[in-house]
Every structure is written in structure tokens, then in C-alpha cells.
Amino acid sequence: MVVLIDHPNVPAVALPFRTDALYITLDDWESLHDQLRSTAAVIEYVQRALGCGVHPPLGHEFDRYRKLAQVDATYAARPGSLPILPLNRLSTDEALAVAAFDDLVERVADATNQPWDEHDYLHVVEMLDCQPVLMRANIGAKMLNTFFSVRESRRPHGFYARDAQINDRFAFFYDVEEQADAPDYDERHLVEIAAYGNLRHIQAWESGSGEDTRTLAVGVRHNDDRGRRYVFALFDGQPPKLHDEVRRSLEADHGIYDEHRGRTIRR
């Protein structure tokens, strides 16, 4: 339970400690949302705050936040890891990158991304929204760079992203739609993105990623007149089998991603 206290002059008082309730001012609550940029991240922070043993006076929530962020910074010193709670506010470039990622989250439910069923929709929303803010910034920066590169070169390109602390991975693939009268829902595009995501999921599985691994393939198609459109394919757990010839063809186009080395090996 979260108790929000909205008062113009909040006294620095220590409220009774409870393991099931977080007392916080409205200003601190809004600052947390601004810092973490997702509802899932704020909920996770509340759970950690209740169990961390630090009880700041009302209006001093960021004293507790800094202690937790320092723990994350130490833990994230390992290669491939990012802190869940950033110590500092986002830079201008990071904020722009997060906005690009947030735009993707908003478009998940776009009508052009049909057909959906409720099970698929909720899992995709959850997987995107639970990404820590610095992971959002990391992916968002790659999204922007890839988008501008593809739009200029008119050649398709993809990238792969994951955080070592989270057993979720993202496979993005950008291309340019030259056809002026293309349909809103392009089944062939979805099949291509699903095959690309399945390939990356198989490669992760074979690298020992674990049975709980998930891969979300995101296809981004740019049209000069209609802007960007998205399709999604989510793979959870053991991957569907690819025919050997299909796999060889996909690996010839996209290479083999080596998770241990964190890079794609081209054939």
C-alpha cells in the first residue's frame, strides 16, 4: 500500500513504520515517476523500499532512493549490467532515447498491430514496461541510430539488446517501405520478423540462456508518408524448431549472435 500525502509544507516527521505501507509526499512520488519513467519500475521501488530497513522522514524519500541506487551501482559494475535505479538524472540525450522507447510502448496497442489476443498483448506490454530506465535509454539510443541509418541508406538493418540482469532479450529489425499503397497489416512482414525473432531466441537458448528466457522481436517499418509502423513476435521458453534450410538462410542474412561474446558473428 502507498499513502500519498499532498501538503504545501510537509513537516520532516518520521511516521510509524509499517511493512505493508509506504508513506510518501506527492512531490516525491511524482519525482520517482520522472526518475524511473515507468509504472513497473516505481512499483518495484516501493517493494524494495519497504524491505530495505531505511526509514527517512516524510519528504526525504530520495535519501532512501540514493542508498538503494548506490547498491545498484555497485552490483552493476559487472560487464553487461546496468543499474536498475540510476544515481543521476537522465541527460538530454538519454531522455530523448527513453522517449523513443516509450513511443514504442505506446504503440503496442495500435490498431495497425492487429491481430492481438489478450494473452499476447499483456505479455508484450509487461515485457516492455518492466525494463529499467537505463535499459530503456540504451535500447532507445540504438533505435534512433538504426532508424536514421536505415532511412538514409534505404537498406534494412537489425540489432539485438539485453541486460545481463534480466533474462529478456529484444531483437529489432528496421526496414523502409517503398510501396505507397502497402496494406496496414502486412502478414509477410510479420512472418519475416517472427522468423528473425525465432532465430535469435534459438541462438540464445543454445547459448544456455535458461528455460525462463523470452525474446521479443520488433519489426519497425518506415514509410515516408505514414511514419513508423510496428509488428511484434514474442517467444517464451523453448523455441519453435526452424527447418535446417530456413535457419541456414536466416543466418546467412543475419549472422549468428554469440551471447557469451555479446556480438553477431557474420557468415
157/261 same-domain check: yes
* Residue-wise pLDDT tens digits, 229-245: 888 888 988 888 888 99
Among 45, 75, 105, the domain-final residue is 75
Among 18, 47, 75, the domain-final residue is 75
Q: What percent of the chain has pLDDT over 90?
A: 16
pLDDT at residue 77 is higher than 70: no
**Count of helix runs (H) and strand runs (E) in the chain:** 8, 8
Cβ–Cβ under 8 Å, residues 198 and 239: yes
126/196 same-domain check: yes
pLDDT at residue 112 is higher than 90: no
Answer whether residue 84 is part of any domain.
no
| Distance, CA of 177 to CA of 175 (rounded, Å) | 7
- Domain residues for the domain of 66 are 2-75
Mean pLDDT of the chain, nearest integer: 82
* Residue-wise pLDDT tens digits, 206-230: 877 777 788 899 998 888 887 788 8
Q: Measured between alpha carbons, how far apart are the two ends of the chain, in Å?
A: 54
61/147 same-domain check: no
71/174 same-domain check: no
53/130 same-domain check: no
* Residue-wise pLDDT tens digits, 152-180: 898 888 888 876 666 788 889 998 887 77
What's the rounded mean pLDDT across residues 250-254? 85
